Amino acid sequence: MGAAGLIDIKRRIKSVESTRKITKAMGLVATSKLRKSRKELTSSEEHYSLCEDIVNELMGVIPEDFDNPYLKSKGKTSDKLYIVMASDMGLCGGFNGNVANNLNLFIKDKDRAKVIIVGSKGISYMNRYKFDVVGQYVEISDIPTVREIKAIYQDALYMFKKGDICEVNIVYTKFISPMKQEVKIDKLLPMDKTKGNNGNFLIEPSMDEVLNSSLDVYFKSRLRRSMLHSKASEQSYRMTAMNGATQNADDILKALKIKFNRIRQSAITQEISEIVGGAAAQK
């Protein structure tokens, strides 16, 4: 392999270096976004914890025969709704695949399952597993807004109150640490009655109005918390994937440069040998 081989290797080195710049930049962006998502998630956890405490207190004092649309489904169907948190961008390793695989293993009867997909990259996975997709929400910002949360929540709540489904679940990736994330499937609706503090409370203007308002805020808080967990996990997956790709590019570059130097040294040695041989022949 002579000059032509060296030119080919130079082209490959240039191509890998360009790819490395992209993966390095994407890794740094993912790291920055992860930092922002974790900060917002911490604030969301505090708000969610406060909402949960209030709702638990209310659920502990309501009468056993208390009728409320959030506590039971009006329909007789056994269909369940799953709000699946995926990503809008790719290059995040097995993030979307893990969510889809866990949901597929969890659901035994797909004919009784309806799916609202959040994130464009999850649509292909849901179609692959032949889920009944009844809603799609794409281009969700890295820090979900109140408007985005409200749209998804009202869509699911409408189906529940109408009686088209008997249960609403959230499928998301819980962020535990940058090195550990876990897919969770949590029930959102209907709300389970719990035994709380049976003390005396003054509830005004009425139990029904206070409970409805509290549960409405609580469910939106749970949905936003789940989305923030999913966003943080997505960035963690992408950061790991891009760092791994950058390391692979470094390994390829090292191997190509070693090969380039060996070929060049071989060519130089051959040229010297030809010069020496030609000089000897002229004597």
Q: Region 81-102: what's the mean pLDDT? A: 93
**Is 178 domain-assigned?**
yes
**Is 136 domain-assigned?**
yes
**Is 93 domain-assigned?**
yes
Place of tokens 């710049």: 21
Instruction: Quote the domain boundaries for residue 77.
Output: 27-239
Note the pLDDT tens digit of each residue in 25-80.
Answer: 999 999 999 999 999 999 888 888 888 888 888 877 777 777 777 887 766 788 99
Q: Region 10-17: what's the mean pLDDT? A: 92
pLDDT at residue number 194: 66
Q: Distance between CA atoms of 244 and 265, rounded to whole angstroms?
A: 32
**Is 264 domain-assigned?**
no
Q: Work out the pLDDT band at 199, boundaries 50, 70, 90.
A: low
Q: Does the structure show a pLDDT above 70 at 195?
A: no
Q: Does the structure show a pLDDT above 90 at 207?
A: no
Q: Work out the pLDDT band at 191, boundaries 50, 70, 90.
A: confident
pLDDT at residue number 280: 67
Note the pLDDT tens digit of each residue in 99-120.
Answer: 999 999 999 888 889 999 999 9
Q: Distance between CA atoms of 92 and 247, rounded to whole angstroms?
A: 16
Note the pLDDT tens digit of each residue in 121-166.
Answer: 999 999 999 999 999 999 998 899 889 999 999 999 999 988 889 8
Note the pLDDT tens digit of each residue in 245-257.
Answer: 999 999 999 999 9
**Is 184 domain-assigned?**
yes
pLDDT at residue number 29: 95
pLDDT at residue number 176: 93
| Sign of the four-CA dihedral 51, 54, 60, 64 | negative
pLDDT at residue number 236: 95
**Is 192 domain-assigned?**
yes
**Is 254 domain-assigned?**
no
**Is 69 domain-assigned?**
yes
b/e code 50-66 from CB counts within 10 Å (16+ = b): ebeeebeebbebbeeee
- What totals of helices (H) and strands (E) does the chain contain, helices first? 5, 5
Q: Work out the pLDDT band at 269, boundaries 50, 70, 90.
A: confident
Q: Work out the pLDDT band at 200, boundaries 50, 70, 90.
A: low
Whichever domain contains 129, its CATH number is: 3.40.1380.10
Note the pLDDT tens digit of each residue in 222-243.
Answer: 999 999 999 999 999 999 999 9
Q: Does the structure show a pLDDT above 70 at 2?
A: no
Q: Does the structure show a pLDDT above 90 at 193?
A: no
Q: Which residues contact 10 (CB under 8 A, 6 or more apart)?
A: 260
**What is the identity of the amino acid at 91?**
L
Lowest mean pLDDT among 69-73, 177-181, 279-283: 279-283
| pTM recorded for the entire structure | 0.86
In the chain, how many domains are there?
1
Q: Does the structure show a pLDDT above 90 at 262?
A: no
